[in-house]
Amino acid sequence: DIVAALNGAAGAVPSIAALSDKRVLITAGPTREPIDPVRFLANRSSGRMGFAIAEAAARAGAQVTLVTGPSQLTAPRGVTRVDVETAEQMHREVLARAAQADLFIAAAAVADYRVAAPADQKVKKTETAQHLELVPNPDILRDVAALSDGPFTVGFAAETQAIVDNARRKLTDKGLDLIAANAVGEQQGFDVSDNTLQVLWSDGQATLGPAPKTQIASELIELIGARLDATG
């Protein structure tokens, strides 16, 4: 397949020279954006893809830190886990570590917006319509990609339409080294175990899957290893 052709590897991830002892920073899961003490905005991310990538990177020989939103999953053995809840917390924990990382993989489904003014007390129900004012969250991926001398930066694009076009625009706009795009929606992408990824970089493209997320994660880590070798 295309990954094997790129780096000569076959089967499950062995130690990958390009990743051996490298510092790899990965985000996973959803974020929760509070509305009041009990309510929040969230999304359907289970964290499975990010956790699977963390496991594949650790098996490839990397030193892995996983910054994750709320997830029922257990961190892979040997991985340093940092738990966060909101996008702003994730931004802070990632930016505190990104300059020292060799590779950053943003697999979290970070909320684009947070509630402008979360309530201190539970909001009482009324019979009328309500408006919730939302403001944009900081863009973790863009801020890491913009670091001078920053890590090789890999983004994800969860799209419901025009998947490859939207992903290539995001690759260019945010100054990423590589982007992995998948289709999401009912029964696709989030909260299921099988997946297909369209992987794009400045002068190339590959398709991974359909396959279980654990296998997709191993193939993605192999592909990233090959790109790290190629870009030096």
User: Is the separation of the CB atoms in 194 and 210 below 8 Å?
Assistant: yes
In angstroms, rounded to a whole number, what is the distance separating the alpha carbons of residues 167 and 156? Answer: 8
Q: Interface with its own copies includes 163 (CB under 8 A)? A: no
User: How many residues of this chain interact with its own copies, rule: CB under 8 A?
Assistant: 40
137 is catalytic: no
Binding flags for its own copies, 1-40, as an x/- string (CB under 8 A): ----------------------------------x-xxxx
Q: For its own copies, give the closer residue by CB, 121 or 148.
A: 121
Angle of helix 48-59 versus helix 213-231 axis, rounded to 10: 50
Q: For its own copies, give the closer residue by CB, 160 or 207.
A: 160
CA-angle at 198, arms to 66 and 193, nearest 5°: 55
Binding flags for its own copies, 50-79, as an x/- string (CB under 8 A): ----------------------x-------
Q: Interface with its own copies includes 181 (CB under 8 A)? A: no
Q: Is the alpha carbon torsion for 162, 168, 172, 175 positive or negative?
A: positive
Among 21, 74, 116, 117, binds its own copies (CB under 8 A): 116
Among 185, 193, 205, 230, binds its own copies (CB under 8 A): 185
Candidates 19-27, 119-127, 194-202, 220-228 — which segment interacts with its own copies by CB under 8 A?
119-127
User: Is the separation of the CB atoms in 63 and 120 below 8 Å?
Assistant: no
Residue of 7, 43, 137, 182 marked active site = 43
107 burial (CB, 10 Å; 0-12 / 13-18 / 19+) is buried
Taking alpha carbons only, the member of 156, 163, 143, 142 closest to residue 220 is 156
Smallest gap from Cβ 47 to its own copies, in A, equals 13
In angstroms, rounded to a whole number, what is the distance separating the alpha carbons of residues 5 and 219? Answer: 12
Q: For its own copies, give the closer residue by CB, 13 or 108.
A: 108
In angstroms, rounded to a whole number, what is the distance separating the alpha carbons of residues 159 and 182? Answer: 6
Among 21, 74, 126, 232, binds its own copies (CB under 8 A): 126
Contact positions vs its own copies (CB under 8 A): 35, 37-45, 72, 109, 111-113, 116, 121-123, 125-136, 158-161, 184-186, 189-190
